[in-house]
Amino acid sequence: MSRRRQIYEGKAKILYEGPEPGTIIQYFKDDATAFNAEKKGTINGKGVINNRISEYVFTRLSHIGIPTHFIRRLNMREQLVRQVEIVPIEVIVRNVAAGSICKRLGLAEGDPLPHTLIEYCYKDDALGDPLVAEEHIACFNWASQEEMQDIASMAIRVNDFLSGMFAAIDIRLVDFKLEFGRLYDGDFSRVILADEISPDGCRLWDMNTNEKMDKDRFRQDLGGIEDAYQEVARRLGILNNDDNSPGEVLDMSAHRGKMRGKPAKK
């Protein structure tokens, strides 16, 4: 499929005009960033793996009635998705203490939370995606009360399903990020799950060893990030143990534990 007009380029994906009205082509890049893009690098083959994992997860979620923007995967790096108006809120679902919440609240990494916690961040790279309360969301009309109820309900359902799905392959879902978009039908709209779900936006730990299997390996210079992403795909049944297909993923084996690119200077 020939590419159409580029609409947007983000840190991990490029969006192109879709072949039909109301559709977008979502292209997965190998670029990796951390700490609000202060650290940058390239993870060879990451886009291919994330495309496959996100396809798998969104397909599974649609089977339990979660509405998503995903239509189908086009090739190794591209998906066809519904065009939506992104709600400017990142939804963080936390099951175990890790990342920024440890610094903010003085928690030890790995501490279990009393119950699943949902946090909201305002999507603005220039501001560092600041943490906000539902009162901020209502005050600035970033989303309606009804939309927020739907978002919170879907976030909990997604967490319940994914926690069980990953636990079945001995992976603990520590936390993850979700984004939602408005899908319009005339003057009416509804919120649906958008963006991607992959090791880029999830913290995934091996349940037996607590080995990290996500982008924290890049953030913390742990190495072996390509192996970790591939292992998640293998356990999900996307990548066979005896065959590193699909295609381009074969190239990742030559770069295991290595990272191209250096932290950006402040």
User: For residue 242, is pLDDT > 60?
Assistant: no
At residue 34, the pLDDT reads: 79
Domain ranges of the chain: 6-84+223-255, 85-206
Contact predicate 90/123, CB 8 Å: yes
pLDDT tens profile 19-69: 999 999 999 999 888 777 678 888 889 999 999 999 999 999 999 999 999
Contact predicate 95/175, CB 8 Å: yes
Domain 6-84+223-255: give its CATH code: 3.30.200.20
Report the alpha-carbon distance of residue 152 to residue 119 in Å, rounded: 10
CATH architecture classification, 85-206: 2-Layer Sandwich (3.30)
**Which one, of 37, 44, 41, 9, lies nearest residue 25 by Cα?**
9
pTM for the model stands at: 0.88
Bridge partners, 212 (sequence order): 205
Contact predicate 14/27, CB 8 Å: yes
pLDDT tens profile 104-158: 999 999 999 999 999 999 999 899 999 999 999 999 999 999 999 999 999 999 9
More confident residue, 40 or 199: 199
User: For residue 252, is pLDDT > 70?
Assistant: no
How far lies 197's CA from each of 52, 55, 129, 225, in Å?
10, 9, 18, 17
Q: What is the mean pLDDT of residues 62-91?
A: 98
Bridge partners, 80 (sequence order): 25, 72
Classify strands 89-96 and 171-185 as parallel, antiparallel or unpaired. Answer: antiparallel
H helices of 18-177, in order, are 46-63, 100-105, 134-139, 145-167
At residue 239, the pLDDT reads: 80
